[in-house]
Structure 1
Amino acid sequence: MEQFYLVPPHSPLRDTLRHCWQMSRQAAARAHETIIPKGLVEVIFNLNDEEPVAAQIEARAFQLPRCFLSGFHSVPVQTWMPRRHALFGMVLHPTAVASLFRVEAADFVNQCLDLTLACPPLRELGEQLLDAADFAQRVQLVQQWLLRRRPEPTAQERLLNQYLNAAAAPGLSVPALAEQLCYSPRQLTRRLRALTGMNAEQTLLYQKYRHATGLMHRTDWSLTEIAHACQFTDQAHFSKTFRSFTQLAPREYRRRKSHLPGHLFADVLESGMSVTYK
């Protein structure tokens, strides 16, 4: 079961919190989930109080922390979920993360940073979420927590958030994007690297990839049409870029995609599990 809460535009948290979600599952078998890079910055609370969640990023295997920060990954995350599990997440605006937790992308890209190390008060919030009666109460708890700490973004930060959250990838060059966001190209690269771990050119390409992934879910367009709509040079360029982020060909992702964009699911047998923690 998935639940979702979108922050309304009149909320005092509109520049801090984008939405909250909860996923809970009780099934006969474990689930293997592949999460391709989604371009979201989210704080995720692991509400499993009985069994840990196994995860792997590239060759590194680990257990998901109770509360972790996940960002603009450039490689997939693999998880092996217990038969019964629950996760709660709050998706934040990128610039809010830096202000709230005093971390930069280098601290959490391509890893699941134990956020209680950077922000100890999250331990108490995590316990409150674990004890909460339902999703609505958890949403209320995180909103109260954020209201006491919410940063006030500058006009430039609002523009940056709008660009990084955009569902479509505008066809801009780095100088044009810098002008639109009121930065010099050098300032833009420095700012984007702090927020996403990528320079300006890489971020532009990443946004095209994200837009293409969304179109594979929202439309029945051909891959050639999607490549053209996202302003890739050609379908080969699109396929190469998509594979570099997901380790999958676009055609394979489209065949295996689930109802949740960016998530691929498969049940696994206990005997088939082999994860070594390092």
Structure 2
Amino acid sequence: MEQFYPIPPDSPLSAALRHCWQMDHQGPALTHETIIPKGLVEVIFNLNEAGPVTARIETETFRLPRCFLSGFHSVPLHTWLPRRHTLFGMVLNPTAVGRLFRLEAADFVNQCLDLTLAHAPLLALWHQLLEQPDFPARVARVQQWLRPRLPQLTPQEQFLDHYLNTPAAAALSVPALADELCYSPRHLTRKLQTLTGMNTEQTLLYHKYRRSVELIHTTSLSLTEIAHACQFVDQAHFSRTFRAFTQLSPRDYRRHKSHLPGHLFTTPQ
């Protein structure tokens, strides 16, 4: 069961927090979950006490920490879920991460950074969330924790958050994006490298890829039409880019996708 709570746009909390979610899994032991890159920065609380959750990124296998930061991955995350477990997540604006935790994308991209080591107060918050009776109570506790820590964002940071969080935003060239922000192209690359771990060209390509995932889930467009809508050079460019991020072809992803965008599940036979 999945639960979501979007933060109202007029809430002061929206400067840092986009939405909260909770996934309560009950099913066959060791369900395999593949999470393709989603372009979201999430603080995830692993509230499972029945047993460890095993995960793998590329060739590294590890146990999910109690609280970890997951960001602009460029490769899939694999997890093996126990029979019962609960995960609670906060989806943050990218610019808020550096302000809240003094971290850059290089610190957490393509890994599950243990935030209780990088930011000790989150261990206390993990215990408090574990004690809450339900999802609404956890959302309320997280909002209470965040209010005194809210960052003050510049207009450029607000624009970048909107752009990075919205796959459907108008595709911009590097010069056009720099002009929108009143940045030089070099300064824009430095800023995006800090937020996403990618340079400007890589970030724009990632943006197209994320838009393609959205369209696969929300439309019946053909893959050729999706490639065109996302402004890939051609179908082959779309397929190469999609496979580079997901290790799947767009056709295979569409065939096996679940109700949750970016998540694929398989169970033991």
Matched residue, 1:71: 71
SS at match of 2:15: coil
In the TM superposition, residue 248 of structure 1 has moved relative to its aligned partner by: 0.3
Partners of 2:198 and 2:225 in 1: how far apart?
27
Matched residue, 1:101: 101
Partners of 2:229 and 2:28 in 1: how far apart?
41
The residue correspondences of 1:30-69 to structure 2 (distance < 5 A) are 30-69=30-69
Partners of 1:185 and 1:104 in 2: how far apart?
20
Is the CA contact 1:5–1:21 (under 8 Å) kept in the aligned structure 2?
Answer: yes
Matched residue, 1:192: 192
> C-alpha offsets along residues 230-265 of structure 1, whole Å, 9 cap, x if unaligned?
000001000000000000000000000000000000
In the TM superposition, residue 39 of structure 1 has moved relative to its aligned partner by: 0.2
1:82 has 2:82 as partner = yes
Matched residue, 2:162: 162
Instruction: Name the stretch that deviates more: 23-32 or 106-115.
Output: 23-32
Is the CA contact 1:169–1:208 (under 8 Å) kept in the aligned structure 2?
Answer: no
- Aligned-pair Cα RMSD in Å: 0.8
Instruction: Name the stretch that deviates more: 181-190 or 68-77.
Output: 181-190
Partners of 2:206 and 2:89 in 1: how far apart?
23
Amino acid at match of 1:165: N
Amino acid at match of 1:85: H
Which portions of structure 1, spanning 4 or more consecutive aligned residues, are displaced by more than 2 angstroms? none
What TM-score, normalized by structure 1, do the two folds share? Answer: 0.95
Partners of 1:113 and 1:239 in 2: how far apart?
30
Structure 1 runs not aligned, ≥5 long: 270-278
In the TM superposition, residue 169 of structure 1 has moved relative to its aligned partner by: 4.6
In the TM superposition, residue 179 of structure 1 has moved relative to its aligned partner by: 0.5
Is the CA contact 1:107–1:113 (under 8 Å) kept in the aligned structure 2?
Answer: yes
Partners of 1:182 and 1:262 in 2: how far apart?
33
Partners of 1:268 and 1:100 in 2: how far apart?
40
In the TM superposition, residue 6 of structure 1 has moved relative to its aligned partner by: 0.2
Structure 2 runs not aligned, ≥5 long: none
Amino acid at match of 1:44: I
Matched residue, 1:204: 204
Amino acid at match of 2:76: P
Matched residue, 1:276: none
> C-alpha offsets along residues 211-237 of structure 1, whole Å, 9 cap, x if unaligned?
000000000100000000000000100
Matched residue, 2:182: 182
Matched residue, 1:148: 148
Report % sequence identity. 70
Is the CA contact 1:208–1:230 (under 8 Å) kept in the aligned structure 2?
Answer: yes
Partners of 1:8 and 1:94 in 2: how far apart?
18
Is the CA contact 1:227–1:234 (under 8 Å) kept in the aligned structure 2?
Answer: yes
Partners of 1:198 and 1:43 in 2: how far apart?
20
Matched residue, 1:121: 121
What TM-score, normalized by structure 2, do the two folds share? Answer: 0.99
